[in-house]
Chain A
């Protein structure tokens, strides 16, 4: 199978959906040149400025415009350049997009997708390296996708664009240039379906986003020590494939949840609570979370590495569980 980069996979999804449905359009800051992370590069050549264009810096209105256009039946896919800027549009995302359908008793539909990259890039410091997945999982009415591979990025984005609900499509900037197998033929990845990247009987690792590849590296190391781990990627946080997670933990009886956002109030807490609530008697050890430390992300590389989770910290957590 051919391999393409994550950024290319996203671009392909956008292009294919725009060809398929003339209501789909893309806009945001620097999208015409595809400047920030190359994702939208070249789209304007095929679709023109009527469907791909640059906006002023006005995140709140970028999303507000998407809400209004979606209400009228269009399918906007705005890009917010860094997920750190999503707080600027919280009102339109959380109060308008997530709630207008509900409050109108179903009269309104908001089929929009807000794309935004999260996670570390490398010394981009506290305001351009965050992972804010957890902020949106707590807002009923929003769906949240967190693809970890080019295959999932393309398949999930196509599903997101075709979905009639508002979707937060949170990509990972450090993964943009990483290639992965992506079929040429049309395919979709459904929401609410996890993927198991590796199977092992001792510990289940539920990994999100860039932490999937880190967990797979940890798995290799642990295998040499005789510990076999499963690496499970939920792919979407809302809806969450609870069944797959519980089924896996029922087999392994030990679980580590890994995310790039800070530990306190993170997605790991929600998943851990679900596991503890549903299958406490299947656990042979406490539930462990590996996440960023509860600090803003520092600039200097040595500090950034210290704060963020990686394969070594994941492996350490697994070993700790085995011995507990």
Chain B
């Protein structure tokens, strides 16, 4: 009868043992209690005794191997015993995949820049609660506590003064009445603060162009899509083509794939194209990494994943923070043309309107072509208009004649 020899658990910290040497070989006779092999643990060297008498039928490890506790290393059986050793073949244990610790995607905060420290209000928890219950806007309360802190007494004072007290109100134009107050979420506050800062800090220079998308749309040809799906499982969208085209064009125009740090322009190593995704609670911009190096179907896959994650609130901070250039596409609405505010600290952002069939002139003839209007906003501290114009020119050419991009 076969007896298994396994690595014993010899210590509280022990998880593996290293085989040092075998004192018996396959075919050797062995008595119960005889040392079969020597192992090394994190603390001691240990001789494993044979659990049975018989013959060593099989050995599954060699000197130098590191074997986990409990794993089979040998079989002892009767001399004439036949065994199907296949039954004892080790199944390669799946190596544990090291867990990449995902920073918990906060459902609300996209904050990369720290919020401004000036002008923060302190309100006691109780005062905050009462104010909320009574529908009082905290900003209308004056705090009499420590460092301007708002206390319950201040809320009570506010409430009592509002009731039937005759105050001489100076003749000011009456503000329109408020029907509903929506408190800003922290996400909204952050978006507000960042966009205001971007708008304030970076002088936005806007350029626009029209692009004939006839050739670009060919990528979405039905039969091509079918083949693409069969081979890769992905279907392309116009965004994928735009992302790839922009990424390849940025290669030739690195200044638009950069950021300004004090007096240094830092060119980003990778071209990670961010795609603006509009969620109900606010705008979020996940980025496709190294978009210039990826195949179209790879971009499609990553885009799909990121948008899904964005909708489910599962984006990680790196996925948002790694963007180096942003594309904003409002083509799903009837928006012909629009401009965007730069996504700090990036230097360029491309806004894409709706593709419309329009009459255009080609070689003296009027023809109908699918036309889209795009605008590029650039940070004029970093690049001049001409640089932006050249980029936009190359992008247009690349989209109208894709073979130029290869």
Contact = CB atoms under 8 A, between A and B. Distances in A.
Interface of A: 253, 280-285, 323-324
Nearest to B127: A284
A284 B152 contact: yes
A118 B151 CA distance: 39
Given A284-B127, A324-B146, 14 more contacts: A280-B125, A281-B129, A283-B124, A283-B125, A283-B126, A284-B124, A284-B125, A284-B152, A285-B124, A323-B145, A323-B146, A324-B145, A324-B149, A324-B151
A324 B129 CA distance: 18
Contacts of B146: 323-324
Contacts of A253: 126, 152
B128 interface: yes
Interface string B347-385: 000000000000000000000000000000000000000
A8 B351 CA distance: 88
Chain B contact surface mostly:
helix
A283 B146 CA distance: 15
Contacts, number: 26
Interface-central residue, A280, A281, A282, by most chain B CB under 10 Å: A281
B126 A281 contact: yes
Contacts of A324: 145-146, 149, 151
Given A323-B146, A324-B145, A324-B146, A284 B129 contact: no
Interface residues of B, number: 11
B128 A281 contact: yes
Interface of B: 124-129, 145-146, 149, 151-152
Contacts of A282: 125-126
Contacts of A284: 124-127, 151-152
Contacts of B125: 280-284
Nearest to B126: A284
Q: Lowest 9 CB-CB distances: which A-B pairs, in order? A: A281-B129, A284-B126, A284-B124, A284-B152, A281-B125, A280-B125, A324-B146, A283-B125, A253-B126
A324 B123 CA distance: 11
A324 B147 CA distance: 9
Given A323-B146, A324-B145, A324-B146, A285 B151 contact: yes
Nearest to B145: A324
Nearest to A286: B124
20 contacts: A253-B126, A253-B152, A280-B125, A281-B125, A281-B126, A281-B128, A281-B129, A283-B124, A283-B125, A284-B124, A284-B125, A284-B127, A284-B151, A284-B152, A285-B124, A323-B145, A324-B145, A324-B146, A324-B149, A324-B151
Contacts of A280: 125
Contacts of B127: 284
Residue among B125, B127, B129 with max Cβ neighbours from chain A (10 Å)? B125
A253 B125 CA distance: 10
A324 B125 CA distance: 13
Contacts of B126: 253, 281-284
